[in-house]
Structure 1
Amino acid sequence: MSRGSLLMLLLIALPATAQIHVYTDAHGNTAYSSRPPDGVESQVIEPAPMNTLSLPTSPTTVQAAPRTENTRAYSTLELTGLPTHEALRANNGTFTVDVRIEPRLQEAHRLRLLLDGQPYGQPSNVPRLQLVNIDRGEHSLAVQVLAGDTPVQQSPAITFSLQRARKP
């Protein structure tokens, strides 16, 4: 054990060995201190034993089955609000898409878009995502469910065409 580790253990254990002194101050109030006051009679209080909790002898927790490639966290995960048979008109290249997800998004999960196969924007827990200043032309868009930085599930990609007004 290194000196630093030993020193840390001693510092942590020090408050556990400290005594508590009780005395009556000059105004007649009961006071407590970690050191006996000068010139005043005090008594040392022994703290009550600390509460402890023992672990059950038999395991009561249920462990989840390990996730395999074929296990899906969500029965439905898809993008909605994108036209697939006609061009999407967004003159400034900004538009929103909705995510249909069932069951509801788990608290530890986030949604992130994949635009043309590349991550787009920050992960979010809101099932309505915005794209900003997207170039005109044909694109593919999908949504991923992330656990931290790890993809858990991905929707099928939707191909769409974005139409923007040309600058004069």
Structure 2
Amino acid sequence: MDRPTITMLLCLVMVNQAMGGQALYRTIDARGHVSFSDDPSRGGEPVELAPISVVPALPASSTVTRAASSDADGDAPSRTYDVFTIAAPDDDTTLPTGFAGNVRVRLALRPALREGHKLRLLLDGEIVRPAAREPVIELVNLVRGEHRLRAELLDARGQVLRRTPAVTLHVQRASVNLPQNPHRPDSHGQADR
């Protein structure tokens, strides 16, 4: 069956249920178009419809429990915080050679950090600094290559409440193959002294 026919059939099933189980008839015209009606005088054949399946909703208490357990994994929004993300640098940012591997990571958090909660930053899966309350973290002298940043929000017991999505950071550094820094204004294409 094509999509419009299926859609029409589903609509008619719902209408049939709303009409209290009245009979439904199917007719096919000379061009092969199928139509449905509740009028037997149009010469259609009766259609038997199966009852609609109904699944009861989960109680509200189990929904809250499931959301709380997801928060502990850091994959779902915390009920305590609406926003927790790495605001800077943007994902897939490249630090040019002139930055010497230094970057300021800024976390966005709303509402403000609650009493007893702390923030920590992970660089390539390793903790960069002990948990603290400051939402700005300075990273210095990062090695050349690709790095993944992720922040964690910790409760008063040190348990992870939430994790940010990972941010990829590309760091360019001068090398022995390129000793001059093309981004430094005083190099003018000449080797560093």
Give the TM-score category using the shorter length: 0.5 to 0.7
From the two aligned structures, give the one with the greater strand fraction: 1
Identity of aligned residues (%): 31
Letter in 2 for 1:81: A
From the two aligned structures, give the one with the greater helix fraction: 2
CA apart distance, 1:161: 0.6
CA apart distance, 1:97: 1.0
Structure 1: how far apart are the matches of 2:113 and 2:83?
Answer: 11
TM-score, structure 2 normalization: 0.48
- RMSD between aligned alpha carbons? 2.2
Q: Contact conserved, 2:92 with 2:168, CA < 8 A, in 1?
A: no
SS at match of 1:68: helix
1:55-85, Cα deviation, whole Å (9 max, x unpaired): xxxxxxxxxx878223413111111221434
Match of 1:115?
A: 123
Aligned counterparts, 1:65-84, within 5 A: 68-71=68-71, 72=78, 73-84=80-91
Letter in 2 for 1:139: H
Unaligned runs of 5+ in 2: 1-63, 72-77, 180-193
Tell me which of 142, 149, 152 is aligned to 2:158: 149
Are residues 1:162 and 2:171 paired? yes
Unaligned runs of 5+ in 1: 1-64
Structure 1 moving runs of 4+ over 4 Å: none
Letter in 2 for 1:154: R
Q: Contact conserved, 2:95 with 2:101, CA < 8 A, in 1?
A: no
Q: Contact conserved, 2:90 with 2:167, CA < 8 A, in 1?
A: no
Match of 1:99?
A: 107
Letter in 1 for 2:150: A
1:119-167, Cα deviation, whole Å (9 max, x unpaired): 1112121111111221111111011011243211111111121112235
Aligned counterparts, 1:3-152, within 5 A: 68-71=68-71, 72=78, 73-89=80-96, 91-147=99-155, 148-152=157-161
**Per the alignment, do residues 156 and 145 of structure 1 end up closer, same or farther by CA in structure 2, a change over 3 Å counting?**
same
Structure 2: how far apart are the matches of 1:134 and 1:105?
Answer: 28
Q: Contact conserved, 1:82 with 1:88, CA < 8 A, in 2?
A: no
Structure 2: how far apart are the matches of 1:85 and 1:111?
Answer: 22
Structure 1: how far apart are the matches of 2:131 and 2:140?
Answer: 15
The number of residue pairs the alignment matches comes to 104
**Per the alignment, do residues 160 and 106 of structure 1 end up closer, same or farther by CA in structure 2, a change over 3 Å counting?**
same
Q: Contact conserved, 1:116 with 1:141, CA < 8 A, in 2?
A: yes
Q: Contact conserved, 2:93 with 2:168, CA < 8 A, in 1?
A: no
Structure 1: how far apart are the matches of 2:93 and 2:122?
Answer: 21
